[in-house]
Amino acid sequence: MTLPFLPDDLWQQLLPIFGKAWPNEAVVAIWPDEWRQLENVAAEPMLSFSLGEADRIELLTRKPLALLHSHPNGRREPSDKDTLSQLAMNVPWGIVAIDANPVTGNIYAVHYPECWGAGLPIPPLLGRQFLWGVRDCMTLAQDFYTLNGVHMPRIPRARDTSIYPKGHWGHDPFRTQPKNLGLKPVQRHERRPGDLTIWMNGKGRYDHCAVYLGEGRYLTQSIDQASEIYVTDFEEKFIERKNIEFLRPKKMKKDICCDIAQLEQVNPRPLSK
């Protein structure tokens, strides 16, 4: 999907910058009337990026449409730090993944940015290809609620929960983050379509969320799978097996629309919140 702030002609101007910077990370800020490469002053620019004081002040005083930076290791998903920094900056960020041979230095591909953050067009809810932090289970749920007029704050991601100490939100994010999203627990027998659910997938902790659509149907985005409506014919057993808990946005209306086709027809390509 071509992004509104990055038409093909502009991308063709930016693309060489990321290739020339390899094996270091390159950073580009895009404003409505211009774009500019920012200097990466990180101590280890192959592994991360950091900006000088002047650039940081400019980004605060003259907010860009988006900030792009490259991942020379070919990874298309944001790091935990990326998700935190994007929220702090409150503009869309994009990852430009570069496929290259670290021995010969040959660059095979510089990929169109994978972008996330508020203000981007919401892609179709069904058929999304999974990308952690960009198109994952939480993003899918947030977009579902946005289409229904329910605001759910964006949250950072914790890819490897084992690196975070107990008590840190990243140690058990599906347990600690619901309160930050304005969700309240709902008893299983009180569940209704539109509730958010959290699941255990056999790891002893909650590691997945999905939107309950009613009658054993769940809007879900699983790792390495396209987003879909998962249907179980044995719902009570399924709930027990996954230790599913039900959570409800405090301002969710009772007649929330769970017909995905109808929901998207009423809201053609709205912006994420």
Task: Please give the pLDDT value at position 251.
Answer: 81
Task: Please give the pLDDT value at position 270.
Answer: 67
Task: Please give the pLDDT value at position 200.
Answer: 94
Whole-model pTM: value is: 0.93
Whole-number Å distance between alpha carbons of 110 and 51: 22
- Structure confidence at residue 269 as a pLDDT band (50, 70, 90): low
H/E element holding 101? Answer: none
Task: Please give the pLDDT value at position 1.
Answer: 56
Helix and strand totals (H; E) in the chain: 7, 12
Tell me: the pLDDT tens digits for 19-52? Answer: 999 999 999 999 999 999 999 999 999 999 999 9
Tell me: the pLDDT tens digits for 76-103? Answer: 999 999 999 999 999 999 999 999 999 9
The Cα angle at residue 214 between residues 196 and 270, in degrees rounded to 5? 60
- Structure confidence at residue 176 as a pLDDT band (50, 70, 90): confident
- Structure confidence at residue 246 as a pLDDT band (50, 70, 90): very high
Whole-number Å distance between alpha carbons of 152 and 141: 9
Tell me: the pLDDT tens digits for 122-159? Answer: 999 999 999 999 999 999 999 999 999 998 888 899 98
Mean pLDDT across the chain: 93
Looking at residue 229, its amino acid is: I
